[in-house]
Structure 1
Amino acid sequence: MLRLGGAYLSTSSVAQIAQPLLAAARDELQESVSLAVLDDGQSVFVGRAEAIRIVSTGAKLGGRLPAYCSATGRVLLSQKTNEEIERAILALPMTKLTSRTINEPEQVLDSIRRVNSDGYAISDEELELGMRAIAVPVRNREGTIEAALSVSVSSARVSANELTGRFLTVLLRVAERIEKAL
């Protein structure tokens, strides 16, 4: 359940409300766009608009990613206290999934804390080589992060600079529209 505007909505209700906006973002970016929530130290995809691509990121509705190295997970953890973050990231093994995975607790904590100043998180080939993602928060009326909106791309198609340029602009606009719709 997510707390939105003084009321609680199920994650499926939130995903249903957000789905047309996820689809519009997918159409504009020509990449898959997802909505995720935090559950037991993992980022869980509750909404998704899949781009039709030969090479896809493989993330599916209901899929779970470790919060410590996923863009959505870092966004979702960013409003928590250092102690809460440490509990969440240390509850699961912090495996080095690729040579680029940040899995040292202090570095993970730093990457999560950067979300507060940057307004977004990036996972650059940390989950799988050749895949990068950017995520932004979706907040309730009180300003609490309830979900993370993300786009996952092939690193061969989209540079990290393009993620923080055009892609970030679209995600921030769509996150604001989702917040208003909720």
Structure 2
Amino acid sequence: MQDEAAPAKRRDPDHVEALARGLEVLGALADASHDDRRGRLTLTEVAAAVGLSRGTARRLLLTLRGRGFADTDGKRFWLTPKVLNFSNGYLERLGLGDASAALLRRLSEEMDETVSIGVLDGGDVVYVARVEVRRIYAERLAVGARLPAACSAVGRVLLARLSPDALDRWLDAHPPPAMTPRTLVDPAALRAELDRVRAEECALIDEEMQIGIRSCAVPILGRGGRVVAGLAASVSSARAEPARLRDTLIPALRKISPELSASMDW
């Protein structure tokens, strides 16, 4: 297995390959938490996931263990709570504190639905805050969960604010995945939908991400009026027709979005 930096990276004087490899190992351990491995990987699995030799992967894992970011039972490796220092620092910078959490809880209670705040990261939406209602159907997404931006309500309110050139580049880099038979995957159709989202300042997803789930979102504005995040509500298709999202949930999201903007440090 090749264990060398790519030529483009070798030419970049600011690229530190050892750091990049270490971050890839952290990412592999984090990704493993989303499947039945429960975030615990063998040395061989880590090496295969990041494309490194077993020797290099072992040194990186033991370095992470020495710094307190990973642990092992001699067979498998996993992340420790120390990695939360990074996410806590990010969330604190956003200003997602007690005031924002209280607003989200109030909104969820008023609507009796799950509500989330998400930001765009590459081709995905990453959820940075979430309040769930406990129902059998409910999506089980934790803070830090990622979903394809093109077919999520939050993703569409964020993508709708990109310039035409920036959107073209984004679509070239992140072709929309067909999550369900209803997902918009045709670029022209998606652009038309984003035009509508831009004009109406809201997005509505009807079982494009998951059959049985509908969602809607509105933008959250930061300093200078720029869109920095999306505020979304998710509902069971069995409990809510699209009309309820348009007539009830979206107005509720719009009402509280300015309060969230004021409570955050964006």
Shorter-chain TM-score above 0.5: yes
Residue in structure 2 matched with residue 136 of structure 1 by the alignment: 218
Per the alignment, residue 52 of structure 1 pairs with: 134
Q: 1:111, CA displacement in angstroms?
A: 1.3
Q: Computing the radius of gyration over CA atoms, which structure comes out larger, 1 or 2? A: 2
Aligned to 1:175: 257
TM-score with structure 2 length normalisation?
0.62
Structure with larger RCO (C-alpha < 8 A, sep 6+): 1
Structure 1 unaligned blocks of 5 or more: 1-8
* 1:93 positional shift: 3.7
What's the secondary structure of 1:134's corresponding residue? strand
After superposition, residues 27-176 of structure 1 pair within 5 angstroms as: 27-176=109-258
Q: 1:14 aligns with which of 74, 82, 95?
A: 95
Please state how far the C-alpha of 1:37 moved relative to its aligned partner. 0.4
1:55 offset after TM fit, Å?
1.5
Mapped partners of 1:21, 1:31: distance in 2? 14
- DSSP 3-state at the match of 1:36: strand
**Structure 1 or 2: more strand by fraction:** 1
CA distance in 2, matches of 1:115, 1:14: 27
1:94: how far off? 2.1
Q: Give the superposed CA RMSD.
A: 1.5
Between stretches 40-49 and 54-63, larger displacement belongs to 54-63
Letter in 2 for 1:79: R
Query: Structure 1: which 4+ aligned runs deviate by more than 6 Å?
Result: none
CA–CA separation in structure 2 for the residues paired with 1:14 and 1:134: 23
What is the alpha-carbon distance in structure 2 between the residues aligned to residue 94 and residue 166 of structure 1? 29
Q: Which moved more, 1:141-150 or 1:16-25?
A: 16-25
> What is the alpha-carbon distance in structure 2 between the residues aligned to residue 74 and residue 66 of structure 1?
10
Q: In structure 1, how many angstroms separate the alpha carbons of the residues matched to 2:205 and 2:130?
A: 18
Instruction: Tell me the SS of whatever aligns to 1:35.
Output: strand
Identity %: 34
Asked if 1 retains the 8 angstrom alpha-carbon contact of 2:116 and 2:231, the reply is yes
Gaps of 5+ in 2: 1-88
C-alpha distance in structure 2 between counterparts of 1:56 and 1:164, whole Å? 20
TM superposition shift of 1:60 = 2.3
Q: Give the whole-Å Cα distance in 2 for the aligned partners of 1:14 and 1:77.
A: 23
SS in 2 for 1:15: coil
